[in-house]
A and B are shown apart, each in its own frame.
Chain A
Amino acid sequence: GESVGLHLPTLSVQEGDNSIINCAYSNSASDYFIWYKQESGKGPQFIIDIRSNMDKRQGQRVTVLLNKTVKHLSLQIAATQPGDSAVYFCAEISGANNLFFGTGTRLTVIP
């Protein structure tokens, strides 16, 4: 079956440093991946997505890297800010548009 997991449950970084959040997936047939940010008491917020025909995609301060060989996904956040503190989920699209989420990584930014 499909599973999406994260290597680290928590991550603490200094304000201004870069953050890297990793994610492993098991379904090699998945062709679309999304990173979501979830702040306390709120629903997941879309950050960035990537399709399996790409290795890298950049947004504002964020970059997603996809390594299909080892089925690994990462989210890089540049110049991490206190407002980036949240739980980050990677999710994969399987079949007709339903998302499979991992457990999540809690990012804490230290001022």
Chain B
Amino acid sequence: DAGVTQSPTHLIKTRGQQVTLRCSPKSGHDTVSWYQQALGQGPQFIFQYYEEEERQRGNFPDRFSGHQFPNYSSELNVNALLLGDSALYLCASSDGTANGDTQYFGPGTRLTVL
């Protein structure tokens, strides 16, 4: 049973560019959440997707957008990259039910903005 997978593992971009990160949830999970983890900090919630719609959003600007596909996989897009966007981007999946609050994380994508 595959866990949560993310691609790419590492990415280097320059300021002003755009980036797309990808996530495949754990088998049987239909809810995907994205988090940003700066160095030495805890993960910060970006947004959550369920049934192909953004269900919740954290305190992140509109430059951060996402998408969920019918197979429950998800993408995180960041436009007009800033140096401060350098971080580990984590995807977590859950089964979306009342008893399915436990979120399982992927290994993350390390984004470096130069």
Contacting residues, chain A, for B107 (C-beta < 8 A): 41-43
B58 at the interface (CB under 8 A from A): yes
Write the residues of chain B forming the contact surface with A, with a CB cutoff of 8 angstroms. 4, 31, 33, 35, 40-45, 48, 55-56, 58, 90, 92, 94, 96, 101-108
Total number of A residues with any Cβ neighbor in B under 8 Å: 24
**In chain A, what residue has the closest Cβ to B94?**
A97
How far is it, in angstroms, between the C-alpha of A7 and the C-alpha of B62 when the chains are bound? 34
In angstroms, Cα B44 to Cα A42, docked, is 16
Q: Residue A89 at the B interface, CB < 8 A?
A: yes
- Minimum Cβ distance to chain B for residue A31 (Å): 9
28 contacts between A and B (CB under 8 A): A4-B42, A34-B102, A41-B107, A42-B107, A42-B108, A43-B90, A43-B106, A44-B90, A44-B105, A46-B105, A89-B43, A93-B101, A95-B56, A96-B48, A96-B56, A97-B33, A97-B94, A97-B96, A97-B103, A98-B33, A98-B48, A98-B58, A99-B35, A99-B92, A101-B35, A101-B43, A103-B41, A104-B42
The A-B contact count (CB < 8 A) is 64
Q: Are B55 and A96 in contact (CB under 8 A)?
A: yes
Given contacts A43-B108, A44-B43, A104-B42, whether A99 and B103 have CB atoms under 8 Å apart is yes
